[in-house]
Chains A and B, each alone.
Chain A
Amino acid sequence: EPEVTQTPSHQVTQMGQEVILRCVPISNHLYFYWYRQILGQKVEFLVSFYNNEISEKSEIFDDQFSVERPDGSNFTLKIRSTKLEDSAMYFCASKDSYSNQPQHFGDGTRLSIL
């Protein structure tokens, strides 16, 4: 069964540095999402992406964050000038165009800011 692939599985970064989290969605999917889960808390929506542009973003997704689909397969989340509170699990999800189909999640990237 096709999977959403996220790399790296764990990223450790010094505060203030930039990080790029990578995702390879399922190949025929058209909708892409990033979610965040701070340890012990619920999963929160960050941003959705469709047709090469952001379709929706939450209040968490401020100027520190950006997303890009640099080629036909990758979907990246960039976090500039990281802060301690950015430490979390980041999930990528993708979905096909049929409204009744669910989002498929990757295994997540655990981001640790030191």
Chain B
Amino acid sequence: AQTVTQSQPEMSVQEAETVTLSCTYDTSENNYYLFWYKQPPSRQMILVIRQEAYKQQNATENRFSVNFQKAAKSFSLKISDSQLGDTAMYFCAFGPSGNTPLVFGKGTRLSVIA
């Protein structure tokens, strides 16, 4: 069974600084998808960024980027120029194939401090 591990229950960062959230996963699959979802206090689930395992290039979305290390099964999220609105729970999620259910990590609570 696939598992997703987020080893940092809580993190904090100063506004405008950079923070990296870690995620590791375990799978025997070769093709799969990885996601980071943001859950603000309102508890919506908002897709931040995604990575397809067959793509070597790391995904980027504006201030958000990932460091995908397939051999190490690592998928970290880097947030640059942190903003107060980035304060939220961040969940790493693994998708074994395109349409199968997602497996989530336990989340990292990020606080951006002014």
Partner of B99, one of A50, A58, A108: A50
- Contacting A at CB under 8 A, from B40-76, are 42-47, 50, 52
- Contacting B at CB under 8 A, from A19-68, are 31, 33, 35, 37, 41-45, 48, 50, 56, 58
Encoded as 1 (CB less than 8 Å from any B CB) or 0, chain A from 94 to 111 comes to 010111111111011010
Contact A42:B107 (CB < 8 A) given known A48-B101, A99-B98, A100-B98: yes
Q: Is B103 an interface residue (CB 8 A)?
A: yes
Beta-carbon contact of B106 and A42 below 8 Å: yes
Q: Secondary structure at chain A's binding surface: helix, strand, loop or mixed?
A: strand
> How many Å lie between the Cα of A44 and that of B105 in the bound state?
9
Q: How many residues of B contact A (CB 8 A)?
A: 25
Contact A100:B33 (CB < 8 A) given known A42-B91, A43-B104, A108-B45: yes
Q: Is B100 an interface residue (CB 8 A)?
A: yes
Contact A104:B47 (CB < 8 A) given known A41-B106, A42-B106, A44-B104: yes
